[in-house]
Amino acid sequence: FRFMGLVGWSLVFTIMFGGGHYLKVALLVFAMTAFMVTAMASVVANIPKEQFDHARTLRMGKWRIIYEVVFWGTMADMADVIIQNAAIGWTMLMMVEGLSRSEGGVGVLLLNQNKFFRLDGIFAIQLSILFLALGQDMFLRWAHTILFPYAHLGKENR
């Protein structure tokens, strides 16, 4: 589903959710879930076999192995995926607000400025979004280092 544009799905979601706020939330959740699921499936698929073997040598049951290795073992990677999806969310937000203009929002503002070719307004909105998103990204990365300090061991500083 991550290759399918939301414009084509907007009719289906409008019929299901009616429009307005629920339409925007449903489209945003649908778009971001497609990226989140594929990224987390890749993280889980890349868990080394040795971690499962280690859990079996500790005489863990199947469900305990899933809990310890898959759930807790990939928590820091899941936070990385969430940070990446937050950046995708800003792009999706503009498009979803442009599709459903009833509640306004930054996407509607941007499309209105674009419609009348007001370049100063377009650049002002884009820069505001950029600085807000960079601030969000810095906060999420700071929270990641606080919550998962072990995830940065053995890695070079970026």
Model confidence pLDDT, tens digit, residues 97-148:
887 787 888 888 998 998 898 899 999 999 999 999 999 999 999 999 999 9
Mean local confidence (pLDDT), 8-13:
78
Judge contact between 108 and 98, C-beta under 8 A.
yes
**Rounded to an integer, what distance in angstroms lies between the CA atom of residue 32 and that of residue 88?**
7
Q: What is the pLDDT of residue 105?
A: 85
152 vs 119, more confident:
119
Judge contact between 119 and 112, C-beta under 8 A.
no
Q: What is the pLDDT of residue 51?
A: 94
Q: How confident is the model at residue 93 (pLDDT cuts 50, 70, 90)?
A: confident
DSSP string, 69-87: IIIITTHHHHHHHHHHHHH
Q: How confident is the model at residue 11 (pLDDT cuts 50, 70, 90)?
A: confident
Judge contact between 24 and 96, C-beta under 8 A.
yes
Q: What is the pLDDT of residue 132?
A: 95
The 10 Å Cβ neighbour count of residue 27 is 25
Q: Is the pLDDT of residue 2 over 80?
A: no
22-77 pLDDT, tens digit per residue, is 888 888 888 888 889 999 999 999 999 999 999 999 999 999 999 999 999 999 99
Q: What is the pLDDT of residue 99?
A: 78
Nearest-CA neighbor of 84 among 152, 36, 13, 29?
A: 36
